[in-house]
Amino acid sequence: MPVNMENKSEKLRDACQLALDTFKKVKNPVFNEMIAKLEFVIGSYNYDKNPVGLIEFGKEALEMLKEIKKKSPKKFSKEVITKLEESLF
């Protein structure tokens, strides 16, 4: 895997970890499934370095976080959304 692709994947993993931490801080049972998915794909990526799951669930997490931010702008830092967007697109 080229170095720049691996760096991009590492950044995506880190952004997904930040999103995971954010969902945990929000403490809403509605997000339990996303928490479980992110924990799984982050662990999977750490094992096999395949970013497919990070991409799929990173996009889902991004959309969910944008909705939370609309409803509760002060719930968490916009940095979480920015880091996901930068690492996904």
Find the mean pLDDT for residues 37-55.
97
pLDDT for 79: 95
Domain range for residue 44?
3-88
* 75, HSE (Cβ side, Cα atoms, 13 Å): 21
CB 3 within 8 A of CB 78: no
pLDDT for 89: 85
Number of structural domains found in the chain? 1
pLDDT exceeds cutoff 70 at 5: no
Q: Which amino acid is at 14?
A: D
pLDDT for 1: 44
Place of tokens 């339990």: 32
Q: How far is CA 38 from CA 12, 48, 55, 74, 75, in A?
A: 12, 15, 10, 23, 20
pTM over 0.85: yes
